[in-house]
């Protein structure tokens, strides 16, 4: 008996009635902006996050082929509807502002409502700090925080149980031990293969992150790697050797999932302190089955995260501790020089010579100082 699909086809809110409170993030590189506000017609207190992101270009949108009976005209930037405003012409160079047809002006929008403090934190710009999480720190600090404060996983279980988003499923292996569901991430519009972004969500419910992985999970990880490559190659025509598959640590939600996108796509969260390649994870577990129970795993925390406050109680995170032997010397120095000293490999005498040279504008005096400090 098939489970009834209770997918909601329309939201409870009207995006046009969103009222802005403040801008959380304006990313000029990714051409996206994250906004915090409310839907006052629904609630004055429940906050909403609205993200606008320019869509990636599709190759079909730049077609210049003439329409025919067999091939009807498709939306194209190079059409009679293109509005062109000339900014300047200089020799062979021209600069213009162009407005294409309405069919090509759509902007992708993601809405989170009602948004929690953790969502606001996730989409905001703030200071970042690198935490070097040992196994002991994971057990004493990170794990208790996860158990108390993680996002609800109801939406994940809705997908795995086919209650929601069934029409978005790209592939599924239903094996309870080695199976997973492959579906588009919210960051992908589902159309342009150039910026393809898929998530592989495992069926097993007892793996929160790579910290829980061990040698017994190798069949699961190998199956994800091979089955996902096969399906993406068949469905989207992408070369498996051009795909990037990786985990985030810390992840945004604590149910094991793999991120998959083309190497040529500079996807969010691919930096080295965030992502762990699936191939590397498999290799580590083949070498040492309990690798992730023994390893120190660095990860980034943002200012305002409660977990950062918990680590601040145990480690020096937000400020840099000064060496005791030089603490008195640094108390008498300007703050900028103190910060430099902390990261300097020079001995005190050499450092003092550098200070004198920097503070000696006269060339002759500087030359005399250089001889003394040589």
Map tokens 């579906």 to a residue. 183
Is residue 155 marked as binding? yes
Is residue 87 marked as binding? no
3-state secondary structure of 102: helix
Q: Could you confirm whether 119 is annotated as catalytic?
A: no
Is residue 362 marked as binding? no
Is residue 349 marked as binding? no
Is residue 187 marked as binding? yes
Residues 6+ apart with CB under 8 A from 193: 236, 237, 238, 262
- Alpha carbons 295 and 310: distance in angstroms, whole number: 21
Is residue 141 within 8 A of residue 329, CB to CB? The reply is no
From the list 139, 122, 127, the residue with the least C-alpha distance to 314 is 139
Is residue 13 within 8 A of residue 113, CB to CB? The reply is yes
**Helix or strand holding residue 108 (H, E):** strand 107-112
Please give the structure tokens belonging to residue 332: 């008498």
Is residue 251 marked as binding? yes
Map tokens 């020079």 to a residue. 346
- Alpha carbons 184 and 333: distance in angstroms, whole number: 55
Is residue 258 marked as binding? yes
Is residue 162 within 8 A of residue 3, CB to CB? The reply is yes
Please give the structure tokens belonging to residue 210: 């790579």
Is residue 162 marked as binding? no
Is residue 250 marked as binding? yes
Among 119, 203, 217, 257, which one carries the catalytic annotation?
A: 257
Is residue 150 marked as binding? no
Is residue 205 marked as binding? no
Please give the structure tokens belonging to residue 6: 């209770």
From the list 140, 124, 118, 125, the residue with the least C-alpha distance to 315 is 140
3-state secondary structure of 229: helix
Is residue 160 marked as binding? no
Q: Which residues are catalytic?
A: 257
For the annotated binding site for substrate, the residues are 155, 165, 185, 187, 248-259
For the annotated binding site, the residues are 155, 165, 185, 187, 248-259
């Amino acid at each position: 008996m098939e489970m009834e699909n209770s997918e909601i086809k329309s939201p409870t809110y009207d995006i046009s009635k969103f009222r802005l409170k403040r801008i959380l993030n304006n990313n000029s590189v990714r051409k996206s902006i994250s906004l915090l506000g409310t839907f006052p017609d629904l609630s004055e207190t429940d906050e909403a996050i609205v993200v606008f992101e320019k869509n990636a270009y599709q190759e079909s949108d730049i077609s210049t082929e003439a329409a025919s009976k067999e091939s009807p005209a498709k939306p194209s930037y190079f059409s009679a509807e293109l509005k062109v405003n000339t900014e300047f012409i200089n020799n062979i160079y021209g600069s213009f502002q162009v407005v294409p047809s309405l069919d090509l002006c759509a902007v992708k929008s993601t809405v989170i409502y009602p948004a929690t403090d953790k969502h606001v934190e996730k989409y905001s710009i703030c200071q970042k700090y690198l935490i070097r999480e040992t196994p002991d720190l994971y057990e004493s600090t990170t794990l208790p925080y996860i158990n108390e404060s993680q996002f609800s996983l109801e939406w994940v279980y809705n997908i795995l149980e086919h209650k929601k988003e069934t029409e978005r499923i790209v592939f599924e292996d239903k094996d309870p031990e080695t199976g997973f569901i492959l579906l588009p991430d919210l960051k992908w519009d589902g159309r342009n293969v150039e910026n393809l972004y898929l998530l592989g969500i495992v069926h097993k419910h007892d793996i929160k992150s790579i910290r829980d992985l061990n040698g017994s999970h190798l069949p699961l990880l190998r199956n994800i790697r091979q089955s996902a490559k096969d399906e993406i190659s068949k469905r989207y025509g992408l070369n498996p050797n051009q795909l990037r598959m990786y985990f985030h640590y810390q992840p945004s939600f604590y149910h094991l999932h793999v991120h998959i996108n083309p190497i040529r796509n500079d996807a969010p969260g691919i930096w080295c302190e965030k992502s762990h390649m699936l191939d590397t994870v498999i290799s580590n577990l083949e070498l040492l089955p309990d690798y992730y129970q023994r390893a120190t795993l660095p990860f980034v925390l943002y200012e305002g995260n409660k977990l950062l406050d918990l680590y601040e109680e145990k480690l020096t995170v937000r400020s840099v501790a000064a060496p005791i032997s030089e603490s008195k010397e640094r108390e008498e120095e300007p703050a900028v020089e103190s910060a430099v000293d902390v990261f300097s490999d020079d001995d005190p005498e050499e450092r003092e010579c550098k200070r004198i040279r920097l503070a000696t504008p006269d060339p002759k005096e500087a030359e005399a100082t250089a001889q003394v400090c040589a």
